């Protein structure tokens, strides 16, 4: 048996914010940290689902406190309100786990007009992290963990068309966002080190984990072929609790270091216990990471510029 939640050190006195904590990997991460005594802030888009998840965790009588904050990563105004709420309520933060995500929907766009997966999985988390980092400075063993997936290995950044306006393939867009996640995590750690910060940034992926992402993607696209393939592959999927272990390891294990990337130790990184894993080649390329950082910063600045008109879009999200 490998590293498990039993190995998580005591989290009493620590404050952890988890995006997308109402189900799947996020809920299991919240469950584990709550049981170990952390104050867990569940940052979720749906207040109803978040409260139901909170009640489920409260019934387990964990050692920590549970709080809710509204967060829609596809709306940068919501990201700003979430950050403001954390600044006002707590004034500090020990763990930030960038877990929320969407997977392979038809082409949708965010409130600011960016392709939904690019906006939610990458840009929204980058904006949130940037806003919350000041609360993490000076905290002992403060960590940012960004959740990627195996899709990073087939992903590529469409430098000239990251929003898929010229050509949209939902799986390519998903791979792009997941590659961006790990590139962001590694570049953030490099920047923090150069600044002399004690905050560390890590990445993790769950392998094949049974969450609501797969059924939601199939429902949104109405693909019978994908539904059939999912039923065939279902025996290969591990539980959400197992899938959450790599991000929990990255967030809490004393041995985990900034700039590292964790995933399951089984064949192909599909399932198993947490282990340090290689990242996609593009994520090892410092020049590409820096290029992504510059592009993302420019897009976020564009989106938040005063009196900026909304981008021309196909369909707006939520």
Determine which one of 168, 174, 230, 262 is catalytic. Answer: 174
Map tokens 């909304």 to a residue. Answer: 310
List the beta strands (DSSP E) in the chain.
15-19, 39-44, 66-70, 95-98, 143-147, 200-204, 261-264, 274-276
Q: Is 259 left (phi over 0), alpha (psi -120 to 50) or beta?
A: left
Give residue 222's Cα distance to chain centre.
25
Phi and psi angles of residue 196, each rounded to the nearest 5 degrees, phi first: 80, 20
| Range list of H helices, 107-239 | 116-117, 124-136, 170-194, 213-221, 224-233
Look at residue 209 and give its three-state secondary structure: strand
| Separation of alpha carbons 318 and 305, rounded Å | 22
Active site residue 114: no
Q: Compute and round to an integer the Cα radius of gyration of the chain.
A: 18
Q: What is the DSSP letter of 143?
A: E
Map tokens 């299991």 to a residue. Answer: 28
Tokens, residue 25: 């990997």
Q: Which residues contact 224 (CB under 8 A, 6 or more apart)?
A: none
| Separation of alpha carbons 294 and 290, rounded Å | 6
Give the residue numbers marked as catalytic: 174
């Amino acid at each position: 048996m490998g590293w498990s939640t039993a190995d998580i050190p005591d989290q009493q006195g620590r404050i952890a914010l988890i995006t997308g904590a109402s189900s799947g990997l996020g809920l299991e991460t919240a469950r584990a940290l709550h049981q170990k005594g952390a104050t867990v802030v569940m940052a979720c888009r749906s207040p109803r689902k978040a409260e139901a998840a909170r009640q489920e965790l409260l019934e387990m009588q964990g050692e920590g406190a549970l709080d809710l904050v509204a967060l829609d990563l596809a709306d940068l105004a919501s990201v700003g309100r979430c950050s403001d709420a954390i600044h006002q309520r707590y004034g500090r933060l020990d763990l930030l786990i960038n877990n929320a995500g969407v997977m392979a929907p038809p082409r949708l766009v965010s409130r600011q007009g960016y392709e939904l997966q690019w906006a939610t999985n990458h840009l929204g988390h980058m904006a949130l992290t940037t806003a919350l980092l000041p609360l993490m400075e000076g905290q002992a063993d403060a960590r940012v963990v960004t959740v990627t997936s195996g899709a990073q290995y087939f992903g590529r950044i469409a430098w000239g068309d990251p929003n898929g306006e010229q050509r949209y393939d939902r799986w390519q867009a998903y791979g792009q966002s997941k590659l961006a996640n790990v590139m962001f995590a590694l570049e953030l750690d490099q920047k923090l080190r150069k600044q002399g910060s004690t905050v560390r940034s890590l990445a993790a992926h769950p392998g094949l984990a049974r969450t609501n992402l797969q059924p939601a993607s199939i429902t949104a696209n109405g693909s019978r072929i994908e539904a059939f393939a999912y039923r065939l592959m279902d025996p290969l999927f591990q539980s959400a609790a197992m899938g959450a272990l790599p991000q929990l390891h990255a967030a809490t294990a004393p041995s985990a270091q900034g700039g590292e990337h964790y995933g399951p130790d089984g064949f192909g990184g599909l399932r198993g216990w947490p282990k340090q894993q290689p990242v996609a080649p593009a994520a090892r390329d410092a020049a590409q990471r820096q290029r992504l950082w510059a592009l993302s910063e420019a897009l976020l600045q564009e989106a938040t510029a005063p009196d900026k008109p909304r981008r021309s879009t196909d369909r707006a999200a939520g």
